[in-house]
Structure 1
Amino acid sequence: MKILNSKDLLQLMNNAIQNSIKINDFEIEIEDHLDINLNIDSIEFNNCFFRGGRIDFSDFVRNDDIKDQFCSLSFVDCIFGNDLYIKNCSLYSLEFKNVHIVSNNFSISSSDINRISIVGSPGKYNKIYSLTLNDLSFKKTSIDIRLNKFERMIYINNSIFKEKLLLIQT
């Protein structure tokens, strides 16, 4: 697995072609604190290990007309050893599949997201230490939380979802 530092990750994302990027098989070392502005339509991380300082995903510069159309953020087969915040985003899709999040702070807040999926697979449950869902007020939001093992807590505050909240705790 190749190592990528904060500066290299930002450079890779800024050089994305066709407003989409897939980042595969990297150990991503966040030196201190990293803000990633979601200014491209699709970001997909596969088989990445995040460690070090806090990482924040947000989208402050997107055109309001396209904010919720096709913008997606996806993590598949990833491990997070650092704090992870997804905030102030307008996304069509946010996905966590077969992840291991051992940080104390995993938060999705103050965002308009059409679909949130935090789903493991039968042979590989997501392992999540704690999860905070706060101020998710997009009335179109559907959320699917299945095949997960939560170590500590799930905190849901001031959030409105389109349909039933499907939450299966193992």
Structure 2
Amino acid sequence: MKVELQLSRMEDKFIINNIYPLYLYDLSEIWGHQTNRYGVFEEDDTRTLAEQNRVFDIWWEHPGVLFPYLIKVNDLPAGLAFVATSPYTPCPSYIDYYLNEFFLLRQYRGKGVGEQAVRQLIDKMPGHWELQTNPTNRNKRAQKFWRKTLAVCTNGDYKEELGHQQEHGEMLIFRFLR
């Protein structure tokens, strides 16, 4: 299986736009979010996926600050990874990179694709990293993934703690230097 992490360009952002609603659907199991009255996973009255996707244009408007990656397996879209730098991070100033979003389509999970993508990502962008995930029992799979993946990719040199994020409340926070 050939896993490739590709920085997405504006011309191919539609691929990430196609995958993103699947990510939100998966998150709905963890966070308990429901669709709005138009069937879109948004809290406001966003009526279409096209409207929803415009919100993410910011990821392509700030090159060198925001990094929207597409994860491919054997040249097919398999997931996404969005990396932010200051001022678009909720973290302390000593963090260089914040993994804002990470998602794999279900058929690629449990096969080492995520670990390969994370390894490629942190090898491309050395520095102080932070990522956050839901700390509840509904999110045990992601917690297990991050603990295992970071143990391998950092040789066990990462920190894990519970913290509070303004938007989501209590979060499980991982920090590491690569």
Under a length normalisation based on structure 1, what TM-score does the superposition of the two structures give?
0.32
The structure whose residues are more often strand, as a share, is 1
Under a length normalisation based on structure 2, what TM-score does the superposition of the two structures give?
0.31
